[in-house]
Structure 1
């Protein structure tokens, strides 16, 4: 059974059961109240008749005198202790009541009896008869009018229940569609994705914040994430195949050259080995950068902690100076602490200082400014600088400002952008053609930062 039919079947079935139970409870409660009321009235009438009989105890009671007390829709009967009837008087068309059994009751008794399908209120009260004998005075009154009213009530309840089922059936059908349509849309979208291989979102126009809207929104976010991962994978494969093609060709050429003439020419042998080693090293560095760029931000394994910015910059600058034999001027006048990942921040600083080294022969400057609850680290060079057109493209992968002077692959700033996102930092480049470039890293300070 389909989910929509199951929802409609269960909701309609439950409603019908509840409607039947409520209608039955109303009917039986009302009928009991009405019958109890009629029995109470019959009992009061019987007591009134008994009172009248007692007032005439000195007179000679006859059937004609008792006939005055007979109800129009009932019967009066006096039953002796031996079970015989002393008097049996009926009113109206209730002669058939004479045929009823009339057991003797020594005590008072009230109940509803049914005879030939008609309900009757029955009251039995013991009284002292003219001869001093205790007899049972029994009053029976027809409740046919009450039964007819209850039949009308039963018909009304059944009709109302049937009429109520129609809008509920329609509403349950609408509810099942409301629930199932987003699921059907999800299934159709998934089938289309599987058939076409193209990522597609669910078209969901609902403005509610219910679970169905959350499901559609979660699915769309998942599709966006899958599409981004797929595009990253495609881009990684494309970038890797493009950039690895040249070093692999060089290695293959020199290996073929070594195979043919390497044993005879020592100089060619050394040249080929150096070229192969250089290209292999280049391939390794390129592969590492490509793998870093292929990672999702949440998989960078970032560990945030309070870091002393002055100490971090001193160790980073010292390591850079030793590695490249370049002087770096450091200015960090304040004792500042950052909430960041120390190793990732060092990696980000290395990228900007390495770019400054590649594009400038002059001294590199690193200075820090405090602005509110943030610290801005500036890496400044006085190199060739960039035009505004280059600044707009410099974060694109494999984009190189001046290929004749760069040593990299155009991946450094793309990696810097990914690192900045992982560190929750802002990065900006300010540059002027022929005047140099300034790279700014803006990070959040920890609460224990203070002036010296």
Structure 2
């Protein structure tokens, strides 16, 4: 495509310059010819005027009754004198165009030419002859004395020098014009290549981009529009590459979210189906047997109650996640230390079921703006996670201290290491704390609820995994109520 543009440039420039050269050549030639004709006409007019003065004087000196006869008698004298004074060959003719005398008969052809024919008809005329490097003029006009035509004078004049000079001027002008046009054509050709070569590279680069190669870049050391075009092209490709990278990341993220949601729904289906099946089975057996088997009846009722509580807990978690994004809780001063101590004592029983222990160290004056039920749920979820995902026979450490204007809660437990790529995603819904070994019955909702509660309190939470320890740190703004207590 670019080659065609280059050829079009060359053909267009060639046609324009060729046409311009021809027009200029023809114009200069016409101008010089017109100028030469004007010079010839002016000189011939002067020649006619001077010769007329001479003939009138001759007729005044010797006047005859027949002017035509007298003109024939002095024809030789007229030709000789005018040849000397005008530096031209002179021929004297009768009114019918018959030669009476000529200073140089070789200059005047025997056949009657156009200029002589015009003079016979009573007109002044001249004819120009060019050949053998010479330009000559035959000039004829009728001689009129006292209103009657007495003869014809004919002059032969050599204008070779005039036409030679004008031809030289024409040639020099044309050579100069040709040189100018050649230089302009060469400059236009270089300029066209200066434009089309970058366009060729740009076309090739755009083809590479179309074929999927986004690593290609253009490097032009130019400060003009093409240089800016190359810079914009590079920026555009960079932005396209970045956007494609972002789209690929979003695609992978959506794909992973889809897989997480699928796992979540699979787990939920399994976790809901199992207790419901168990409840339904025991309920049908109890309805059939009634209280005939008291031991089986008590066992079935206890199992129905436990599975119902389990279902209730899962439903509450699901509802909690679904409303966290839009729900606003009215915050109030709460003693987070007392709530945390109560939760630690309560969760100790759960820890013993896993043959684990809870060790806690809680400072005083841990007052913050929160909602008591929500802050309790925060601590329960964090300690429950620490119990479930800690190593066997380990101890969960809980610390809570006030540092100036901040209350810091630290939950630490020995655990298998968690890869860095998983740490930043543990707070996402449906994402399990330990993807490689998820806890049975866990659907990855606890930490997402925790993060929502911390954000409600305008606090911060982060997780680290180092030296086979998982540490969760929560920071909340401390509330100073000393003045209120003094009142």
Q: TM-score range by the shorter chain?
A: 0.5 to 0.7
Q: 1:116 to 1:205 in 2, by over 3 A?
A: closer
Q: Is the 2:138–2:156 contact (alpha carbons within 8 Å) kept by the matching residues of 1? A: yes
Alignment partner of 1:95 is 2:107: yes
Greater helix share, structure number: 2
Equivalent residue for 2:100, pick from 86, 93, 96: 86
Question: Shift of residue 127 of structure 1?
Answer: 1.9
Structure-2 residue corresponding to 1:440: none
Structure-2 residue corresponding to 1:274: 315
Alignment partner of 1:326 is 2:341: no
Alignment of 1:337-356 (within 5 A): none
Equivalent residue for 2:22, pick from 20, 38, 41: 20
Structure-2 residue corresponding to 1:237: 251
Structure-2 residue corresponding to 1:339: none
Q: Deviations over 1:211-249 (max 9, x none)?
A: x34543443343233223212212212332344443331
When normalised by structure 1's length, the TM-score is 0.56
Question: Shift of residue 171 of structure 1?
Answer: 1.6
Alignment partner of 1:70 is 2:72: no
Residue range with higher mean Cα deviation, 119-128 or 168-177: 119-128
Equivalent residue for 2:128, pick from 113, 116, 129: 113
Equivalent residue for 2:208, pick from 153, 170, 192: 192
Q: Separation in 2 of the partners of 1:276 and 1:405? A: 11
Residue range with higher mean Cα deviation, 262-271 or 235-244: 262-271
Q: Separation in 2 of the partners of 1:229 and 1:95? A: 95
Structure 1: state its 5+ residue gaps: 286-319, 329-359, 364-381, 386-396, 411-432, 437-452
Equivalent residue for 2:13, pick from 11, 14, 30: 11
Question: Shift of residue 199 of structure 1?
Answer: 4.3
Structure-2 residue corresponding to 1:142: 158
RMSD: 4.4
Q: Separation in 2 of the partners of 1:221 and 1:399? A: 36
Q: Separation in 2 of the partners of 1:265 and 1:244? A: 31
Q: Is the 1:39–1:112 contact (alpha carbons within 8 Å) kept by the matching residues of 2? A: no
Secondary structure of the structure 2 residue equivalent to 1:407: helix
Structure-2 residue corresponding to 1:160: 176
Aligned residues: 314
Structure-1 residue corresponding to 2:452: 407
When normalised by structure 2's length, the TM-score is 0.53
Residue range with higher mean Cα deviation, 177-186 or 193-202: 193-202
Q: Is the 1:74–1:139 contact (alpha carbons within 8 Å) kept by the matching residues of 2? A: yes
Question: Shift of residue 151 of structure 1?
Answer: 3.4
Structure-2 residue corresponding to 1:49: 51
Question: Shift of residue 33 of structure 1?
Answer: 0.8
